Structure 1
Amino acid sequence: MMVKKFLIGVASAGMALTLAACAGGGAGESSDDASSTSGATGGSEPVAEGGLVGVAMPTQTSERWIADGEAVESGLMELGYEVDLQFANDDIPTQANQIDQMITNGADALIIASIDGTALASQLAAAAAADIPVIAYDRLIRDSENVDFYVTFDNYNVGVQQATSLLVGLGLLNQDGSEGDATGPFNIELFAGSLDDNNAHFFYAGAMDTLQPYIDEGTLTVPSGQTDIEQTNILRWQQETAQKRMEDLLTSTYTGTDTELHGVLSPYDGLSRGIITALQNAGFGTTVADGLPVVTGQDAEIASVKLIADGTQFATIFKDTRKLAAQAITATDAYLAGGEPEANDTETYDNGVKVVPSYLLESDIVYADNIQSLLVDSGYWTEAEVESGVAE
């Protein structure tokens, strides 16, 4: 199973975390881009060996979050910590109660991937009162001074990459960034993630900043007129909601008209699959080659990787969450050793109260022709999994 592969990768990384503080290499980095990620620069008193770390993940409905949670748990246990891993099934009160219980049970640190980045103020205040460091995992926690550190990907750049892959699919750009042969005009529709997820706003900003010049010059058009994130967002990133919105857009804007649809900006593979289902049901074809619009994605979920290999979904964004889990472990270990993790970004992530020191990781665009090099050769997926579309 995919979880097992995450555990192996992070367990190996975890063995090197204590060396990283001395050698200057962060666990969330590749060998080509290493810099110091943790160090004892004036944190709290060290926690005794075997301290308890609470890990709050948003849901088990996504293979990605299951793998993240298990990877963080495994890496922390490798370092000798006890771990309380909880999944909240996308229910905000459940997550709040889980974090309350972690604090009551004596957690020495908290790693939180929030469902709603504004809904945990009282829990964070309680953590601060108990001198418990809080690490926001992938999703920024907003409107609180009690967020100590943030580990994530360069989310604005993820949005840029999503839009870039759409432009490549339409032929306006080549994969190397050079100008393509196509001239347009092309009709596109836009989807955004859940408004209560801070990342969704960064994704959309990066994507729109990339697409807007093409829209302004008329090379791209959004026939529905729905370009604002308030119009395009999908609550809780639900596949079924995205499918329904795509069906509604087709009915209101395309059915019974001469208007063609050439591409769809989608910020997540689950949404992409819902969008593709709506398009296929409406008779747009089964692959891009036979008329299906270009559809983007994110997270390199195995079902969507197979669709890319089959020519159905055009692209996705690969965020190697093995590195993200390892970086969260690095940051936690730094705090519990009495130090502080070193950030590589201290300007970007303002949560409304303060700029949260952050560690950003890089992502890659996955097309059909680089699945092997990015996903298979790295051990993220196997050839058999790509062929079947199912994690083993």
Structure 2
Amino acid sequence: MKKTGILLLIIMMIASLFVGCAQKADENLIGVSMPTKSLQRWNQDGANMKTELEKKGYSVELLYAEDSVDQQIKDLENMITKGCKVLVIASIDGEALKGVLDEAGKAGIKVIAYDRLIKGSKYVDYYATFDNYLVGVIQGNYIIEKLGLDKGEKGPFTMEVFGGSPDDNNAYFFNGGAMDTLAPYIESGVLNIKSGQTEMEQIAIQGWKSEGAQARMDNLLTAFYADESVDVVLSPNDSLAQGIVASLRAAGYGTSSNPFPILTGQDCDTTNVKMLIAGEQSMSVFKDTRTLAAKVVDMVEAIMKGTEPPINDTKTYDNGVKIVPSYLCEPVFADVNNYKALLIDSGYYTEDQLK
């Protein structure tokens, strides 16, 4: 009996050591929830953040929800159960996470919204993103400069406008920045939106889907451009630009007599950079995910140390419940003239990735 008792005591001591180790690991655990692996940028965002957090000594639970809101909620619930101390969330639907964030808030877990504002919850502690209004301004200014509107060119030029997913708060900032910048030329008739479609409910593409953009561009070309070419297409991001280019190709654009229109984008996905090089897409706003990931790591570390995370905006991002303290990184644009310096020389891509 004594031997049995001693054996049980040893087993209990060993078990307590494992429990202690598990608790210690939990104290150092960070949850990172990304929306999908189907877009290159989210793979890079997740990988960059995991790498940088692990360099700092944190354990990282990185999960991709594959564009399923229900799956993202389940992922976050699992992270809460595992004892994550901070959640970094790039939301699929910015208005669908209130319930699970209530759970996180009650558990004392801090939440950083990553590049997409989470709305309707008081438990969004911080927001890290790029200056999304500036993204649109950059796209608008690129169009102005390429057409020579700033030098007095009167055109008129035909233009069509696309919007992002209506459940993504960023889509409204992108659109607002571009349309505010282009407004004087639209109002004067120098830029002629033949379809007349400018409201988000008319131009938005659900889920940022390339096929949705392609279908809408097909309809626009059939209805309004049977006898003339479109000169400009304002696309807020690269996934939409891919669909737009597919539609334009099918309609016979890309020849010397019918060149591709000026076409904007965002994210510098490899597919789109190749399209820049081929002359099919004009520009893409570059948001270096390494910069954003590094800033989020700084924010996480400050939270874990009990200090104030770095923020540079306390006025812009209202999630319907509160103004969320934010850090805004500054974007730039890439086109055929500067992509090598911006993307290859910086180590973001290799030359082989763009062949």
Contact 1:296 1:314 in 2 (8 A): yes
- Cα distance in 2, alignment partners of residues 201 and 286 from structure 1: 34
**Partner residue of 1:252 out of 223, 235, 247:** 223
**Partner residue of 1:93 out of 44, 49, 70:** 70
What residue in structure 2 maps to residue 69 of structure 1?
Answer: 46
Q: Tell me the CA shift for residue 290 of structure 1.
A: 4.8
Q: Quickly say closer, same or farther: Cα 1:123–1:302, change in 2 above 3 A.
A: same
What residue in structure 2 maps to residue 125 of structure 1?
Answer: 102
Q: Tell me the CA shift for residue 237 of structure 1.
A: 0.4
Contact 1:186 1:221 in 2 (8 A): yes
What residue in structure 1 maps to residue 234 of structure 2?
Answer: 265
2:122 maps to 1:140: no
- Cα distance in 2, alignment partners of residues 200 and 164 from structure 1: 18
Q: Between the two structures, name the one with larger relative contact order (CA 8 Å, sep ≥ 6).
A: 1
Matches within 5 A, 1:45-84: 51-84=28-61
**Partner residue of 1:195 out of 140, 150, 166:** 166
Contact 2:27 2:83 in 1 (8 A): no
- Cα distance in 2, alignment partners of residues 302 and 259 from structure 1: 31
What residue in structure 1 maps to residue 333 of structure 2?
Answer: 365
**Residues 358-381 of structure 1, C-alpha deviations (whole Å, 9 max, x = no match):** 000001111211112211221112
Letter in 1 for 2:132: N
What residue in structure 1 maps to residue 15 of structure 2?
Answer: none
The alignment yields a C-alpha RMSD, in angstroms, of: 1.6
- Cα distance in 2, alignment partners of residues 290 and 180 from structure 1: 24
SS of equivalent residue, structure 2 residue 338: helix
What residue in structure 1 maps to residue 178 of structure 2?
Answer: 207
Contact 1:190 1:264 in 2 (8 A): yes
Contact 1:63 1:301 in 2 (8 A): yes
What residue in structure 2 maps to residue 342 of structure 1?
Answer: 310
- Cα distance in 1, alignment partners of residues 100 and 26 from structure 2: 25
Letter in 2 for 1:282: A
Q: Tell me the CA shift for residue 166 of structure 1.
A: 2.2
Contact 1:186 1:262 in 2 (8 A): yes
Q: Tell me the CA shift for residue 49 of structure 1.
A: 8.9
Instruction: Give the number of the structure whose alpha-carbon radius of gyration is greater.
Output: 2
2:137 maps to 1:182: no
Identity %: 49
Letter in 2 for 1:245: R
Which TM-score applies when normalising by structure 1? 0.82
Name the structure where helix makes up a greater proportion of residues.
2
What residue in structure 2 maps to residue 242 of structure 1?
Answer: 213
Q: Tell me the CA shift for residue 355 of structure 1.
A: 0.6
- Cα distance in 2, alignment partners of residues 302 and 167 from structure 1: 26
What residue in structure 2 maps to residue 352 of structure 1?
Answer: 320
What residue in structure 2 maps to residue 302 of structure 1?
Answer: 270
SS of equivalent residue, structure 2 residue 36: coil
2:76 maps to 1:105: no
- Cα distance in 2, alignment partners of residues 318 and 196 from structure 1: 22
**Partner residue of 1:281 out of 243, 247, 250:** 250
Contact 2:112 2:126 in 1 (8 A): yes
Q: Tell me the CA shift for residue 215 of structure 1.
A: 0.5
2:126 maps to 1:153: no
- Cα distance in 2, alignment partners of residues 170 and 309 from structure 1: 20
- Cα distance in 1, alignment partners of residues 203 and 26 from structure 2: 48
Letter in 1 for 2:308: E
What residue in structure 2 maps to residue 229 of structure 1?
Answer: 200
Q: Quickly say closer, same or farther: Cα 1:141–1:379, change in 2 above 3 A.
A: same
Mean CA deviation greater in 372-381 or 189-198:
372-381
Contact 1:92 1:119 in 2 (8 A): yes
Letter in 2 for 1:236: G
Letter in 1 for 2:175: Y
SS of equivalent residue, structure 1 residue 317: strand
Q: Quickly say closer, same or farther: Cα 1:331–1:281, change in 2 above 3 A.
A: same
Contact 1:300 1:316 in 2 (8 A): yes
Letter in 1 for 2:313: D
Q: Tell me the CA shift for residue 182 of structure 1.
A: 3.1
Letter in 2 for 1:104: T
Q: Tell me the CA shift for residue 342 of structure 1.
A: 2.4
SS of equivalent residue, structure 1 residue 260: coil
In structure 1, runs of 5+ residues without a counterpart are 1-46, 173-178
Letter in 2 for 1:101: N
Contact 1:49 1:80 in 2 (8 A): no
- Cα distance in 2, alignment partners of residues 87 and 333 from structure 1: 23
- Cα distance in 2, alignment partners of residues 384 and 166 from structure 1: 30
SS of equivalent residue, structure 1 residue 110: strand
Runs of 4+ in 1 over 4 A off after TM superposition: 47-50
Contact 2:65 2:72 in 1 (8 A): yes
The alignment covers a number of residue pairs equal to 332
Contact 1:188 1:263 in 2 (8 A): yes
SS of equivalent residue, structure 1 residue 378: coil
Contact 1:50 1:82 in 2 (8 A): no
Which TM-score applies when normalising by structure 2? 0.90
